[in-house]
Every structure is written in structure tokens, then in C-alpha cells.
Amino acid sequence: MNPPTDVKISPGRLGEYIVSWSSNCTQKDNISYQLDYRYLDTITEESWKSRTVKIHQKELDLEFHRGLFAKVKLLGNDEHNSNIPDYWTEKIFDPPRDLFASINNLSCIFYDNNYMNCTWDINKETPQGAQYFLSYRQTNEDTVTNCTNYHKDGQRNVACYGHKYEIDSIDEVNICVSESSNKTTLPFCRKMHPAGFYKLYTPINVTINENTDEVKWKLPKGNVNSSCYIYEIKITNRSNRGSIQNVENLTGGKYVISRDQKKKYSVQVRGKVVFECYESIFWSDWSKPLIIEPNSTGLSVLTIAILVTVIFVVIVLLLVFICTKCKLLSKICQPVPDPKEKFKDLFEDCNGDFQKWINKNPLLMTKTEDCIPASVKEV
């Protein structure tokens, strides 16, 4: 029985290639074919994938720009043809790079609320006037969806931003960028599960209980079950030179930190989806730093008020003691003389009438005395 021959490959739907072969086998009943393949940039045994078909071809969603090593052989399906020789027909497909759209590093991130961002790098040797467009097709589906919102670098599209997609995150999808300058150019495609490139929104409401040092946070409402999340908390000691950082892995939405109460810290949190729920390669962005100031070593307001009161009372008592001891009060607070004691006739005879009192007591000396000059002899 002759093995398959003439293995070849041809484009199919977006991101799809048809691997076909010829066969001289005259028996068709109870005969099938095994197709094994891997990319040229992977050489491990685990990188091989296998498909079994009854016909002479198989449609595969491929990142064909990576090149393909394919091999096909006959399989028997019952005891009468179980002794078919294990003959493989092998073929290496190593297409030239200029056969595809002249971009590299096509990557996509999928967010809550079914939004995605995809970016790519344009090669230096790209043709003048070339434009790039992103499209995607879900595996085993015919419908092709085009990006609705591009980001440009000059005149060329270099990203698809904020596109609303309608894909189940666990389904495989072919995302391709086509080049408009050459209709024969094949699209540059990536095959991915959106769940593996899912990025959570940044955690919010990061708070700390200063009595227990327990930090809590929340995630914005998303489409993933809360049990699918893991977190990292970054604790930075800002009081030390170099800002020493400590990162811990967590499974819940709270954590009790260990800190020196006399030092300043900042706390940030990020999250991602765990392996059990189609683990993503992307962490969310770090939350805004929560600044934790050192605990105050000063006195409380109540304590300060009590101390001020005590000091005031002590000062007053001390002043009273000094005044009493040195009789300062009696010296400072002399009584005002009573004029009645000095001028009895003014008040007793004249009722305080100063003019009457003056008239009653004329000056004894009315004659003006001559002034006799005198000389003083210096000693």
C-alpha cells in the first residue's frame, strides 16, 4: 500500500490553511489518514499536534508565518488492515517573510465589558503607501469581523483600540492584519484564546485599618467569577533610602501587612485571572499608592489640653506663692490716700468746695519780698 504523496498547503478562510495530499490507495472503506504537524520554531515532542481525517485534506487555523512541518500517513480502522506499514510522507513549508503583511509583534489585550486593544509594529521595508487593517474570525466560524476603531502613526494604522468584540473568552480566535498594497500578500495572523490575554481593570478602594494593619481592596465589576482572581500586593518602605519593596502573592481581597509603626509606607495591589479559569499572561495595572504615614509619637489633643491646664495652674500658684512670700502684693497694691485725712477743714467746713476753702484761708504772705542775690563760693 503506497503512502500519501504530494503534500501541499493553500489558504482558506481568514487565518485558515488547507493541508492536502494525494493517495494511490484504492481501498476507501475503513481507511483514514493521520496528519501531524508543528511549527518550525518549536522542536519539542509536546509541540506536535495530530489530526485524523477520512478525506485527503484538513483545514487548520495556523500562524503560517512561523513555517510548518507536516507529515501524513495511512491508518487502518479494523483488524483486516491493521498491518498497514508506518510510512510517513513529510513536508516542510518555510514561506518567505515577504509573503505576509510586513508587520511584526501582533499582540492583543482583552478587557472587561468585551473591549480589546491590538497593536503591531510595521517593518522598515514596508512598501510606500501600504495600509493595514485588522480582522478576526472565530475558529470553525465563517463570519469575519473588522476592527472599527484604529490608532494611527502618521497615516498608517498601527493599533486597533477600544474595539467591541463579540467572542466568548474561552473560544479560539484568529486575529489577522492584512496589507492593502498587495492583494497577493497573506495576512499576518495570531491564533489565541482571549481568556489567555485577559487584563483585569485596576483594583479600587484600597484602604487600611490602622488599628489592625489590614489592607482591603475591590475589583471593578467584571465578567469573571471572583474565585478566578489572584493578587499581588506591593509594600514599599519609603522611609529607607532606595525604597525597599516587598511583593506578596494572595488569593483573597485583604491582607494584614507587617510594618514598623515609626516608618512611612505605600501599598499597591494588582490582579489577574488564575490557571483554573484560563490563566491570563497579563496582570492588571498597579493601583494608586496608598500612603501609610508613621504613627504619631506626639501627644493626643486631650493630653495636650490637660498638660496646658496643669501648667497654667502651676504658674498661677507659683506667682501667688512668690507674691505672698515677698509681700509683693502689698507693695504693688498700695491704698489710694484719702484726701479727707489731709484736708479736714476742706471737707468738714467747706463741704469740699475748693474755692470756698481758698477764700477762707488767704495766703499769709501778701507782700512781695525783694530777691537778694547770693553768691556761692566754690570750694
Whether 80 has a pLDDT exceeding 60, the answer reads: no
Q: 377: which 3 cell numbers? A: 563760693
Let me know how many helices (H) and strands (E) the chain has, helices first: 5, 23
In whole angstroms, what is the distance from residue 32 CA to residue 23 CA? 11
**pLDDT in the model for residue 26:** 67
pTM of the model: 0.68
Mean pLDDT confidence for 62-79: 86
CA–CA dist 142, 169 (Å, integer): 18
> Contact, 260 vs 254, CB < 8 A?
no
Paired sense of beta strands 198-199 and 103-111, if any:
parallel
**How confident is the model at residue 8, as a pLDDT?**
95
pLDDT at residue 336 is higher than 80: no
Q: Using one digit for the tens of pLDDT, what is the confidence trace for 1-34?
A: 678 889 999 999 999 999 999 987 766 667 888 9
d(CA 120, CA 131): 12
**Average pLDDT for 35-51:** 91
Q: How many CB atoms lie within 10 A of CB 225?
A: 9
Render pLDDT for 112-144 as a digit per residue (tens, 0 to 9): 778 899 999 999 888 788 899 999 999 888 999
Q: What's residue 339's pLDDT?
A: 66
Domains present along the chain, CATH in parentheses: 5-95 (2.60.40.10), 99-198 (2.60.40.10), 201-292 (2.60.40.10)
pLDDT score recorded for residue 79: 55
Q: The cell 481593570 sits on which residue?
A: 201
Taking residues 322-329, what's their average pLDDT? 69
Q: Is it the case that residue 333 has pLDDT exceeding 50?
A: yes
Residue 337 has pLDDT above 90, yes or no: no
Residue 334, pLDDT above cutoff 80? no
Read off the pLDDT of each residue in 46-75 and give the average, rounded to a whole number.
92
Question: Are the C-beta atoms of 109 and 199 separated by less than 8 Å?
Answer: yes
For residue 257, the model assigns a pLDDT of 86
* Residues 21/7, Cβ–Cβ less than 8 Å: yes
Q: Is the pLDDT of residue 297 over 60?
A: no
Neighbour tally for 378: CB within 10 Å: 3
